[in-house]
Structure 1
């Protein structure tokens, strides 16, 4: 499985706009893309404008399809105005332990 960890720094005063845009993108990704298995948005404690995303796809091709989706294009438009910086770290899921009802 293809995984992606994204660190995002949001411009001051743009937090709510960021959260609305990324929530819509995450929801549509899991709902509309068969290859998107997980899309988590996490805040960083003590840093109001810093966030981490964890995305999980069946494979790299599913991630490429994600980048072509209409909701991703909408997100990129929002991202251009709300993000100060972004670092993407792609990888592969090796081990996972979860209780989904707690997620």
Structure 2
């Protein structure tokens, strides 16, 4: 995975309705599985929880803006976008990230560094 200036990265904050967390998490799990299977230009799509029970943070890394555009056109993403509305308190907050410095380890490098 090469992350260069051409890569396209998003940080998306979701505020889920109280009581809808399990449904939102199930929806995202199904969607992430389809992203993994059908989107070679999506390099990383990670969903995180925080100390706030109704908050979810998505970290999305795409090969480039074309890979992001491809992602947005996929049927599973269109289904996610349509279904998520009823589960959210508000519209998601989207931040486009621009790398200024990158340090990256591969799984092989990380294993070799351990004592």
RMSD (Å), alpha carbons: 1.8
- For residue 9 of structure 2, give the secondary structure of its aligned residue in structure 1: strand
> Where in structure 2 are the equivalents of 1:1-103 lying within 5 Å?
1-45=7-51, 47-85=52-90, 86-93=92-99, 94-98=101-105, 100=107
Cα shift at 1:28: 1.2
User: TM-score, length-normalised on structure 2?
Assistant: 0.79
Flag the 1:90–1:75 CA change in 2: closer, same or farther, 3 A.
Answer: same
- For residue 53 of structure 2, give the secondary structure of its aligned residue in structure 1: strand
- Unaligned ranges ≥5, structure 2: 1-6, 111-115
- Segments of 4+ in structure 1 off by > 3 A? 98-102
The structure with the largest strand share of the pair is: 1
Flag the 1:6–1:100 CA change in 2: closer, same or farther, 3 A.
Answer: farther
User: TM-score, length-normalised on structure 1?
Assistant: 0.88
- Unaligned ranges ≥5, structure 1: none
- Number of residue pairs matched by the alignment: 101
